[in-house]
Amino acid sequence: MDEKIRTWANFCARAILLIMIPFILGTIVFPHTQNMDGQLLRSPQESRNAEEIAYSFSHSGNDISVPQRVNAIFPLADYLDFAPLVSHSNPFLCFQDNDSYLILADGTKYDPEFAWTVDLNNKTRLIVLPDTINCTAIQLNGSNDYKWYVNVALPTNDPRFKGNLTFVPQTMTYPRIIMDYGLLQGLIMIPVCYLFVWYPAAGIWKKIHKGILEQ
């Protein structure tokens, strides 16, 4: 009976060391989520000449596509990119201002104070400040139409702002989705730990133990 208990305990210890610990490390402990950004949808450039610059433009997001491939993380995992090994959730649409600026009449660049207002599907309104990103949840299988609005107030008593002024928007829109590959990483960690951690460690221990006995 003692021998069976000892054998069973040895089996359980090996299972925990060789299987459970690497699996838990890969699935829970190590980072296992990744933000996958889609193709940037650049907004058109438009300008208005007035003491207050105000304009809007719109874009239909029907062509939004998000890369959902796990091979960006595991290059040899092209055939493993499916649930439950890899899951995709929380689709977002991100709106970013990348340093929009104003060109004065003399050709110099000027950074005005402004804030974008983005109207998404006539339901959600987002504020995008200069050099910031604002994301909101969307449905990828539906239509996502959005409009950008901006008002740039100019000082009327400053002679630099007289004449032909050009506002150059530097805005970008792109989809984002969260990819979770924890289960796949946990399974991969089992042979990785065995080949690169436990097996070399066992070989080193055997050599040390053999050297101690020979002495």
Section 170-176 average pLDDT? 84
| Number of domains forming the structure of the chain | 2
Instruction: Please indicate, yes or no, whether residues 22 and 41 belong to a single structural domain of this protein.
Output: no
Instruction: Please indicate, yes or no, whether residues 122 and 213 belong to a single structural domain of this protein.
Output: no
* Strand, helix or coil for residue 37: strand
Instruction: Please indicate, yes or no, whether residues 166 and 199 belong to a single structural domain of this protein.
Output: no
- Burial string for 20-58 (b: 16+ CB within 10 Å, else e) reads ebbbebbbeeeebeeebebeebebeeeeeeeeebeeeee
Instruction: Please indicate, yes or no, whether residues 26 and 93 belong to a single structural domain of this protein.
Output: no
Residue 102 has pLDDT above 70, yes or no: yes
Instruction: Please indicate, yes or no, whether residues 43 and 132 belong to a single structural domain of this protein.
Output: yes
Instruction: Please indicate, yes or no, whether residues 19 and 46 belong to a single structural domain of this protein.
Output: no
User: pLDDT category, 133, cuts 50, 70, 90?
Assistant: very high
Of 40-49, 86-95, 109-118, 198-207, highest mean pLDDT: 109-118
Section 140-165 average pLDDT? 78
Residue 150 has pLDDT above 90, yes or no: no
Instruction: Please indicate, yes or no, whether residues 48 and 84 belong to a single structural domain of this protein.
Output: yes
The beta strands (E) that lie in 67-215 are given as: 87-97, 101-103, 109-110, 116-120, 124-128, 133-137, 145-153, 166-168, 171-180
User: What pLDDT is stored for residue 51 in this prediction?
Assistant: 46
Of 2-6, 40-44, 185-189, 208-212, highest mean pLDDT: 185-189
Q: Which domain holds residue 175?
A: 35-180
Instruction: Quote the mean pLDDT of the chain.
Output: 76
Full-model pTM: 0.65
Residue 129 has pLDDT above 90, yes or no: yes
Cross-strand pairs, 33: 180
Which has more pLDDT, 208 or 21? 21
Instruction: Please indicate, yes or no, whether residues 83 and 163 belong to a single structural domain of this protein.
Output: yes
Residues 125 and 117: beta-carbon distance below 8 Å: yes
Residue 132 has pLDDT above 90, yes or no: yes
Residues 86 and 80: beta-carbon distance below 8 Å: yes
User: What pLDDT is stored for residue 49 in this prediction?
Assistant: 47
User: What pLDDT is stored for residue 162 in this prediction?
Assistant: 77
First to last CA, the chain: 36
Instruction: Please indicate, yes or no, whether residues 39 and 23 belong to a single structural domain of this protein.
Output: no
User: What pLDDT is stored for residue 65 in this prediction?
Assistant: 56
Distance CA 185, CA 170 (A): 38
Instruction: Please indicate, yes or no, whether residues 57 and 82 belong to a single structural domain of this protein.
Output: yes
Instruction: Please indicate, yes or no, whether residues 189 and 168 belong to a single structural domain of this protein.
Output: no
Q: Per-residue pLDDT tens for 24-57?
A: 888 888 888 777 766 555 555 454 545 445 555 5
* Strand, helix or coil for residue 144: coil
CA distances from 135 to 102, 124, 146, 173 (A): 25, 11, 13, 9
Instruction: Please indicate, yes or no, whether residues 102 and 208 belong to a single structural domain of this protein.
Output: no
